[in-house]
Amino acid sequence: MPGLLEVDGLRVRYRVLSPLRARLQQREAYLQAVCGVSFSISAGESFALVGESGSGKSTLARAIVGIETAHAGSIRFDGQELCGLSKNAYKPYRRQLSMMFQDPAGSLSPRLTVKRLVTEPFKIHAIKDVDLDVEARRLLQMVGLSEEFLGRYPHQLSGGQARRVGVARALALSPRLLIADEPTAGLDVSVQGEVLNLLLELQARHGIAILIITHNLKVVLHFADRMGIMYLGRFVEQGPASEMFQRPRHPYTRALLSSSPEPDPDAVRPPLQLKGEVSSNIERPRGCEFHPRCPVAQAHCSTVAPPATSTVQGHSFTCHFPIESDD
């Protein structure tokens, strides 16, 4: 059954050198930010994008909502191809695809009151048959804020309150897919839990699909049905979140889990340490692009790109020498 969102072979690139300079320097003219990513999200499902900074997570999300232009591949939303649509043709889908940005307060205009912030989507989309006062109160109530916040400005809000306003604004037009970019960034641990529980509650109530971008594996464990691990713009592993936490197959996934407090205190999992720094997106390593940092890499990895392997559980990974199950 087709998903609500289906991404197939998506590529996003940025020109970093002119054609002439690239030829003279014998270098790649483009930075490949997203390289052939494929995944899907069903209605009401939560999917987490996980990876280090620079892995391509936010670029992928911005391409889905049309902020970035895809160089190749397909983005289908409810069966409609979005790649290649004009701005006017894309506009109706912007009401159904909403994005929350990282910085809780910085993503809110300091010159607008909370009321104007949460009702601005109605004005942007020229929706005139609504009472903005009623909508503002409804949206604040939905995210657990009282009417007294309507006249406040972003600098008068705590981080948690600013994030709740961001959630209200993102859900103002009742989208079918919410993209949440690091929704707990910069928040205290207790407030992080409140925000995640709010998103889960709203998802259950309204049936929203959520694509969450994070490097915080505790968030993934608490929130996601499925997850994808990105490295240098590619998925190295994806599948059911519970399956990947229990049986990570790619060394990068295992290393990320090793660096995070163990969610199961009874589990025995040998730590796996990464070597060096993330490679350049422009001068990519040959073979498996992860091999310069991989603690289990062998000579074969430096010359041959690994194939994708899938399991019956819907768990896929790209590795010549996958980690064996602890079971």
d(CA 312, CA 324): 16
Instruction: Tell me what pLDDT residue 282 has.
Output: 81
Instruction: Tell me what pLDDT residue 258 has.
Output: 80
Q: Are 225 and 307 in contact (CB under 8 A)?
A: no
User: Rg (Cα) of the chain, in Å, rounded?
Assistant: 21
Q: Are 297 and 288 in contact (CB under 8 A)?
A: yes
Instruction: Tell me what pLDDT residue 184 has.
Output: 86
Q: Which among 92, 194, 210 has a CA at the least distance from the CA of 143? A: 194
Instruction: Tell me what pLDDT residue 185 has.
Output: 83
pLDDT digits (tens, 9 = 90+) for 11-37: 999 988 888 887 888 788 888 999 999
Instruction: Tell me what pLDDT residue 187 has.
Output: 84
Instruction: Tell me what pLDDT residue 327 has.
Output: 52
> Distance between terminal CA atoms of the chain?
32
Instruction: Tell me what pLDDT residue 70 has.
Output: 93
pLDDT digits (tens, 9 = 90+) for 172-203: 999 999 999 998 888 888 888 899 999 999 99
* pLDDT tens series, the chain, 327 aa: 578 999 999 999 998 888 888 788 878 888 899 999 999 999 999 999 998 888 999 999 999 998 899 999 999 999 999 998 888 888 888 889 999 987 766 778 889 999 999 999 999 998 988 999 999 999 999 999 999 999 999 999 998 999 999 999 999 999 999 999 998 888 888 888 899 999 999 999 999 999 999 888 888 888 899 999 999 999 999 999 999 999 999 999 999 888 765 555 555 556 677 877 888 888 889 999 999 999 899 999 999 999 999 887 789 999 999 988 655
Q: Which among 208, 207, 206, 185 has a CA at the least distance from the CA of 195? A: 185
Q: Are 182 and 9 in contact (CB under 8 A)?
A: no
* Per-residue CA distances from 271 to 36, 242, 285, 305 (Å): 30, 19, 25, 25
Reading the block at residue 220, the tokens are 């993934």
d(CA 213, CA 224): 10
